[in-house]
Amino acid sequence: MQCPHCHSDNPDTSRFCGNCAASLSPEGRDLASFTKTLTAPVQALKKGTLFANKYRISGEIGRGGMGVVFKAEDTRLKRPVALKLLPFELSHSPEAKERFIREAQAAAVLDHPNICTVYEVEEQEGQAYIAMAYIDGKSLKERIAQSPLKIEEALGIARQIAEGLEEAHRNGIIHRDIKPANIMLTAKGQAKIMDFGLARLESAGDLTRTSVVMGTIAYMSPEQALGKKVDHRTDIWSFGCLLSEMLAGHGPFQGGHEQAILQAIVHADPEPIAALRRDIPAGLVRVLDRCLKKNPLDRYPDAGALNKDLKSVNLADIVSLPTVVVPKAGPSIAVLPFSDMSPEKDQDYFGEGIAEELINALAHIQDLRVVARTSAFALKGMNLDIREIGRKLDVKAVLEGSVRKAGNRLRVTAQLINVENGFHLWSERYDREMDDIFAIQDDITSAIVDSLKVKLLAGEKTALKKRSTDDPEAYSLYLKGLYFHSRPSFESYSKALDFFRAAIDKDPNFAQAYAGMAFIFGGLGILNLAPPSEMWPKAKAALLKALSLDEDLAEAHAVAAMLAFWYEWDWEAAARSLDKVLSLNPGDATSHGARGWFCLNRRRFDEAIREIKKALELDPLMPLYYAWSVGLHWSVGRPDEALQEFAKALEIDPNNGLAYFHAGVAYYRKGLLSEALETLEKGKKFAVFPGWAEFGIGIIHLKQGDPGKATQILDEMIENKNTTKNLSSVCVAWLAGALGKLDLAFEFLEKAYEERDSLMIFIHIYADIFSPIISADPRFKDILKKMKLDV
């Protein structure tokens, strides 16, 4: 069936377009006409009526699409009850009656303090009814309408609802209509889930057929709204909508009519909750984000996992608004490396270092978008016009300058240029002693803020002038370390370590130098340029020293996130550190990219893609981020987009080995084996992670029907592993498993665990892709459990 609005093709059974969410009704009816809501008069029961010989009617307390509810007294057991009656006319509909009976059967098996108790389900003279506990209180909908909920109150209610859902899901029951109106709050604040009128017992046949929309529009999951088959994760989505409403006063998706709401549910991202309320704990933001993933696979796997995260929310860990990337429409700047005007031309590192320090300082400002170092420095030596630079980097202003150093004398010039017209917004020349370098940098940052009319928030002015050392000689050595730090190779990293150590010798309290050392040790391990198990303790020691000197050093928290994620495999600690670094430095492109990989590990696939896009927005010429983008796209099942990103990566750097590897896997996932093999062979000479290309080539040969060649590659990898410890054991394991050598595969997975192989953190994502036989083995579950990847 073709959509009348966007002309996309859809299955004949679809009620709504999968592309634009427009109604596919042949009669052109609106969304409401497809919402399965049954309404009909119900048998009139006046106050005082004795129903079913034992229930004395007190009065009507509510009505909905599947019946009317009365308050009554059970005259035999002397207790108040809520009596729900199926509309009398609908009692003659087998489907309606069966659904009504199923509601009772579903709810009756549940015995939990956060679920309303069902006493009985019966039929009286053709009138089906349910008797359930009467709850003296008000609905959550009424509570939200009264006043905004405090965080503690909202979190307490959310935890109780999650407890009830966990019990229901454990018994195979999906509610499918979780919303504030279906949550009752007792006078003591106890939350109880009501109305399993749309519940589906997983062990029974589904009366609510695929393509028939059931439930309440504003709380429907995308798959439910489109009439697709749903499971318990639809309740997770509805819970997220309910949680958002408790926190913000309204749901995450709004519109003037039902069709607009549906379109937003299917296609739009919800407004970030942190932008609506400033006292939201970071952990609660993460819970909400995961509940509202479009793809059910990206949500919590069950209510138990949701409840676990809710219980771990730290109320004191308030999310900071700077984690939101500043829109491009605001002020933006690129800081180019300062030219070396010294006679000996030996101050290139100093010119780059000054620019990098200015970038780091300005990146702390929420209302200023600062292009990251790599992209700004990529244009060095190209002699481009300022307008061309502005176009390439998508900025409104450019800072350029020069440095001339002779002995202890220093001359620094700087000019801030308006990209649109080429005019100077500000310029200055400083003839000072080397000891004045810090004051010069402070003057330049202040001039930029004033010239661009950027409003500083509380604490940002202090952050601009913050530094880890007052020793100019130590600082000069540190800048040399940064120069080599930004050129990842074993040789450059070794030089960077030497300069960072020399800086620390000059100033033992130089926190940034310790953070630099920690990053280098960590980078060597992650890239397998040195044994990870040897690098991790060194990185950890340097990190702890940096944090002991400055607990709010953004560079240190970035390393803390790296170590927690890649080495310690402490997922909660990694999340905390990523939140911290991005609150201190919202313009840190590397941390946004790192958060993309973290989200992949957590199966938050949509968020992973958003994070790498943020990284590329902040650093649009960074080759590494394009390689990461290729990898993240194929990892979440988007190989076509991965290959589009690969084309961009080659434009930036045609020798990007990591991008070649990821592109090879993207071709592999598309079934284009010849292209995959060719790409991996091309990229093999550029590879920076020993083992990746080899195992990929081996698996492709196996898929092409040449197990002999694959076995030969495996033997060569094992031989190389014995002589070069830094070859990835995980890569050996994947290829061994693909060849059916399970014992050998698990031997190397255990080695990888002991070595802290960085690829171990994705084994739960990649096992089914590269070696399904491994993931089916019971030993694999044991490994996942050890790594806390079994949720």
Amino acid letter, residue 107 = A
Alpha-carbon distance of 700 to 691, in angstroms, equals 14
User: How many other C-beta atoms can be found within 10 angstroms of the C-beta atom of residue 759?
Assistant: 21
Marked catalytic residue, from 30, 74, 136, 177: 177
| 8 Å CB contact between 399 and 370 | no
| 8 Å CB contact between 100 and 132 | no
Reference 392, options 402, 406, 404, 382; nearest CA is 382
Reduced to 3 states (helix: H, G, I; strand: E, B; else coil), residue 413 is strand
Q: What is the DSSP secondary structure assignment for residue 337, as one 8-state letter?
A: P
Adjacency order of strands within the sheet including 55-64: 50-51, 55-64, 67-74, 79-85, 127-133, 118-124
* DSSP per-residue codes, 680-691: HHHHHTT-SSTT
- List, in order, residues 6 or more apart from 426 with CB less than 8 Å away: 415, 416, 447, 448, 450, 451
Beta-sheet pairing, 339-340 with 397-406: parallel
**Which burial class, exposed, middle or buried, applies to 631 when counting CB atoms under 10 A from its CB (0-12, 13-18, 19+)?**
buried
What token pair was written down for 212? 């028939």
* DSSP per-residue codes, 525-558: HHTTSS-HHHHHHHHHHHHHHHHHH-TT-HHHHH
Alpha-carbon distance of 347 to 349, in angstroms, equals 5
Query: Is 177 noted as a catalytic residue in this protein?
Result: yes
Q: Which region holds residue 72: left if phi is over 0, alpha if psi is between -120 and 50, else beta?
A: beta
Cα(first)–Cα(last) distance of the chain, in Å? 39
Torsion of CA 774, 775, 776, 782, to 10 degrees: 100
Q: Is the dihedral of CA 567, 569, 574, 576 positive or negative?
A: negative
| 8 Å CB contact between 246 and 154 | yes
**Which burial class, exposed, middle or buried, applies to 606 when counting CB atoms under 10 A from its CB (0-12, 13-18, 19+)?**
middle
Reference 371, options 335, 331, 399, 327; nearest CA is 335
- List, in order, residues 6 or more apart from 371 with CB less than 8 Å away: 332, 333, 334, 335, 359, 393, 395, 618, 619, 620
- Give the rounded distance of the alpha carbon of 769 from its chain centre: 22
Largest CA distance in the chain: 106
User: How many other C-beta atoms can be found within 10 angstroms of the C-beta atom of residue 310?
Assistant: 22
Reduced to 3 states (helix: H, G, I; strand: E, B; else coil), residue 217 is helix
Reduced to 3 states (helix: H, G, I; strand: E, B; else coil), residue 133 is strand
What token pair was written down for 198? 């749309």
Reference 189, options 167, 144, 156; nearest CA is 156
Angle between helices 657-669 and 692-703 (to 10 degrees): 20
Alpha-carbon distance of 454 to 365, in angstroms, equals 9
Q: Which region holds residue 689: left if phi is over 0, alpha if psi is between -120 and 50, else beta?
A: beta
Question: What length is written for the chain?
Answer: 791
Adjacency order of strands within the sheet including 191-193: 137-139, 183-186, 191-193
Q: What is the DSSP secondary structure assignment for residue 564, as one 8-state letter?
A: I
Amino acid letter, residue 474 = A
Reference 608, options 182, 293, 221, 388; nearest CA is 293
Residues marked active site are found at: 177
